[in-house]
Amino acid sequence: MACRLRLLGPELAAAGLGPGLAVSTEPHLVPAGPAEAAAAASMPERRRLEFLAGRLAARRALRSVGLECGEIPRAGRLPCFPPGRAASISHSAGVAVAVARAPGRDTPLGCDLELRPLPAGAARLVLRADEEELLRTAGSEAGPWSVTALFSAKEAAWKALRASRRLPAGCVPRNLRDLRARPYGGGLRIENRAAAALAVHVHVTTAGPGVLSTVLGWSTP
């Protein structure tokens, strides 16, 4: 995973983004403050360690763009960052990744890690009929797009689009099928079906048995 992030580094840097990585087996994985401790206290052990790894990955991502950050509490289920700091966090199978935005940039934020491949039957939960051709279309790496890759790419895009201030009122995507994916520049262009002009460019790469998806910026039609 670390190797994949290093290879992706130049593209992230060009987009004004920085990566962070942590694993739930790291020693001394502890809350960074009382709000994190309170959030983690009621979690089962495995979930607690993934939560703390995610917060550590976010702090490392922020540090990679020159920003320091203390504890990262929750607002509902979402991370709540202090002013001037923003990142997207994802974790899977004990590994946490994060992507942070550099100061002065407006790059949309979204990443998703899936280390457990999804079955082909999950396609109906991710795609609509006008996207099924993607399952037979060559992706950014060898072979056609997989259900796992499309799910992950849409998850990353969903995070970025829901958090965007550009989202028109009443156009919040309810689920992944409310987003449409199309091939774009070696990756995917994923748009909000209710506001098609609002779309992001998502890079998808293999990560062990699964995939890592990262939003690299806004996409033009």
Question: What CATH number did the domain enclosing 159 receive?
Answer: 3.90.470
* 200 close to 157: Cβ distance less than 8 angstroms: yes
Structural domains counted in the chain: 2
Same domain, 9 and 89: yes
Per residue in 56-101, pLDDT (tens digit) is 999 999 999 999 999 999 988 889 999 999 999 999 999 999 999 9
Residue 47 has pLDDT above 80, yes or no: yes
Q: Could you list the residue range(s) of the whole structural domain that residue 67 is in?
A: 2-103
* 61 close to 100: Cβ distance less than 8 angstroms: yes
Last residue of a domain, one of 77, 103, 129: 103
Residue 141 has pLDDT above 70, yes or no: no
* 207 close to 1: Cβ distance less than 8 angstroms: yes
Q: What's the whole-number average pLDDT of the chain?
A: 91
Per residue in 97-110, pLDDT (tens digit) is 999 999 999 999 99
Last residue of a domain, one of 42, 68, 103: 103
Ramachandran class of 158: left when φ > 0, alpha when ψ lies in -120 to 50, beta otherwise: alpha
Same domain, 117 and 31: no
Last residue of a domain, one of 103, 135, 154: 103
Residue 119 has pLDDT above 90, yes or no: yes
Contacts of 94 (CB under 8 A, 6+ apart): 23, 24, 25, 46, 49, 50, 53
Its sign, for the CA torsion 17, 109, 105, 203, is positive
Please, which pLDDT band fits residue 154 given cuts at 50, 70 and 90?
A: very high
Residue 103: other Cβ atoms inside 10 A: 10
Q: What is the pTM of this model?
A: 0.93
Please, which pLDDT band fits residue 130 given cuts at 50, 70 and 90?
A: very high
Contacts of 213 (CB under 8 A, 6+ apart): 110, 111, 112, 113, 114, 149, 152, 153, 155, 156, 202, 203, 204, 205
Tokens of 213: 């998806």
- In this prediction, residue 142 carries a pLDDT of 60
Per residue in 18-31, pLDDT (tens digit) is 999 999 999 989 99
Residue 149 has pLDDT above 80, yes or no: yes
Same domain, 123 and 61: no
